[in-house]
Amino acid sequence: MITKDKITSLAQERIDELNKDLYLVDVIINNGAQIQVEIDSLKGGVAIEDCVSVSRNIEHNLDREVQDFELQVSSPGLDKPFKVLQQYEKNIGRNVKVVFTDFGSIEGLLKEVNANGIILETRKKEKVEGKKKKIEVVEDHIIDFNNIKETKLIISFK
């Protein structure tokens, strides 16, 4: 039987060998025969050659005579939620949407990431008493990872 630990180990082995700031995002095994591996890079995108290399390392170390499988190695899509700390680190300085575990969400600039959570900067215009024009109010929100249901990159074509 193909296990998640085995696939994770084989993928990580090749990622370490490539030494290209790649990291493992997720490994999913459906019905014991469909394997999906997601890898990403701290600097830019993931090259097709890197996906092929990780895929070959996994395939060459599994025996199709024992169990047939379908393998897909890719980078996570822009519309997918963040799953690992490195994805947060990669997207510092970009706008994200954070959905909270209890209710509600917030959008803002991902300013900082640490082991416990993130700091998100929001900007909004507010009316100040005695002034005609609204002024921009900048606020930092400290959000613990335990309170985050999902975080996604906000895609903008401006």
Q: How far is CA 57 from the centre of its chain?
A: 23
Assigned CATH for 85-153 = 2.30.30.100
Nearest to 111, CA basis, from 126, 123, 99: 123
pLDDT at 32: 66
Task: Please state the rounded mean pLDDT for residues 69-85.
Answer: 91
CATH of range 4-74; options 3.30.300.30, 3.30.300.20, 3.40.47.10, 3.40.50.720: 3.30.300.20
Domain with CATH 2.30.30.100 in the chain: 85-153
Nearest to 149, CA basis, from 81, 86, 76, 85: 81
Residue 65 vs residue 15, higher pLDDT: 15
- The per-residue pLDDT of the chain, averaged, comes to 91
Domain with CATH 3.30.300.20 in the chain: 4-74
Helix (H, G, I), strand (E, B) or coil at 123: strand
pTM of the model as a whole? 0.83
pLDDT digits 0-9 by tens, 97-155: 999 999 999 999 999 999 999 999 999 888 878 778 888 888 999 999 999 999 999 98
